[in-house]
């Protein structure tokens, strides 16, 4: 069951690019349905577009961030064996605030623009929501 969920998340995180049919003619896929890099994701999370394309971009961003967050939660359940990458406080920011925050982080870190979008999301979340330090385990004598 967990393997199926992880596989489903991977397909969702790959975005429309993995499922999209090739376009005919010289037109390249738009950033709205072809997010691969930090720069691409930042562009859809804080789009300069207007009208329906803006709404589509924001919906894509929010879906990406939600899926990535759920994937992280599956990999790092409370009390699990591995430490989470980031720890969102309760209450946390809205998904819209997260999208705008990610886009701002991407602008502040242009050296990350060509990295995979999911890597950038985790880098942003880790910097924005660091986990509290865990006490060191007592040493045995």
Expressed in angstroms, the distance from the first to the final Cα of the chain is 42
Three-class DSSP labels, 45-110: HCCCCCHHHHHHHHHHHHHHHHHHHHHHHHHCCCCCCCCCCCCCCCCCCCHHHHHHHHHHHHHHCH
Residues in the chain: 141
Task: Give me the residue spans of the domains in the chain.
Answer: 2-14+37-128
Contact 37, 115 (CB under 8 A): yes
**Quick one: pLDDT at residue 132?**
86
> Phi and psi of 116, rounded to 5°?
-60, 140
Successive 10-residue mean pLDDT values, the chain, 141 residues: 43 40 42 84 90 91 95 88 90 94 97 96 96 66 57
pTM score > 0.95 for this model? no
Give the pLDDT confidence score for residue 84 in this predicted structure: 93
Q: pLDDT at position 137, please?
A: 55
């Amino acid at each position: 069951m967990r393997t199926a969920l992880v596989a489903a998340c991977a397909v969702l995180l790959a975005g429309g690019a993995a499922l999209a049919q090739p376009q005919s003619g010289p037109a390249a896929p738009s950033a709205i349905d072809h997010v691969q890099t930090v720069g691409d994701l930042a562009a859809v999370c804080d789009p300069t577009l207007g009208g329906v394309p803006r709404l589509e971009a924001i919906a894509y961003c929010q879906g990406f961030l939600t899926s990535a967050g759920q994937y992280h939660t599956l990999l790092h359940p409370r009390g699990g064996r591995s430490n989470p990458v980031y720890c969102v406080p309760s209450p946390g920011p809205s998904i819209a605030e997260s999208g705008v925050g990610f886009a701002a982080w991407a602008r502040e870190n242009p050296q990350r623009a060509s990295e995979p979008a999911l890597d950038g999301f985790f880098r942003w979340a880790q910097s924005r929501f660091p986990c509290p330090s865990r006490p060191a385990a007592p040493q045995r004598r």
